[in-house]
Amino acid sequence: MRKVRTASVGTARRHRALGHRSGTGRSGTRSRKVPSDHQRMQEGSWSRADAVAVLDSPARLSSQDPSRLWRRVDLKPGDIVVDVGAGSGFYAFPAAAVVGPGGRVYAVDVSPELVELVRERAVKGKVRNLEPVLSTPKRIPIEDAVADVAILANVLHGIPSTTVDEAVRLLRPGGRLVNVDWKKEPTPEGPPVRHRLTLREATAALTAHGLTPVDSFELGPYHYVLVLERPRPPRLPGHLVSAE
């Protein structure tokens, strides 16, 4: 099984838009020997202000439109969504608006500061169908098979296999995992190219967890989306019941 790079979920999410803050000018082009900010991300020592400046940037909204993503994957009212590595809630809050009061969104992150930020935003915005969840790389404290959709946005290149296992565990049979990731090519922002996964590499990494690819498409100029499904159990042949 292909192993993905090991880091925390919240840490990996914060790689996504900091080529210039992680020792690079354009993504993949080194500008100094020791990428101190990149090291801070790996250690999970970002401040809340640093994270928000990146995760909520206008540039990110223009290149990764979350509303467009949810329309494209046909998210429906009443669906249950788990956002693994939710950060500041960039994808989670638009999902909550789509699923409505009959649905639910779990915004999962390993950062207590970002979980609290999402909680504050949900209270302020009266978003009652969104629940922030503090996790670890090895355990997401949510019961099995609850989710219609789980999303990994810009984190697959930096999370351990145990986190992917947890995301798959949370999917109901027939549920879908949506993987949003950087194209493996130089872009004006984002993690170094060497850390990224091609669509083919992401497919190999996720099918190793028992998922079946069902769709892929581009999301803006810098990202691709891979959609996979947790297989349904095979239907057993019916048995005749005696009338006696």
pTM of the model: 0.80
Whole-angstrom distance, CA of residue 23 vs CA of residue 226? 29
Query: Average pLDDT by consecutive 10-residue portion of the chain (244 residues)?
Result: 40 40 36 34 58 82 91 98 95 98 97 94 98 97 98 94 98 98 93 95 98 97 97 72 46
**DSSP line for 107-132:** EEES-HHHHHHHHHHHHHTT-TTEEE
Q: Does domain 9-229 have CATH number 3.40.1350.10?
A: no
Distances (CA, A) of 227 to 38, 71, 167: 29, 13, 13
Tell me, what's the pLDDT at 54?
Answer: 82
For the chain, domain boundaries = 9-229
Tell me, what's the pLDDT at 236?
Answer: 67
Tell me, what's the pLDDT at 61?
Answer: 82
First to last CA, the chain: 52
Pairing label, strands 171-182, 147-153: parallel
Q: How far is CA 169 from the centre of its chain?
A: 15
Tell me, what's the pLDDT at 30?
Answer: 35
Whole-angstrom distance, CA of residue 89 vs CA of residue 77? 19
H or E element that contains 84: strand 80-84
Tell me, what's the pLDDT at 3?
Answer: 36
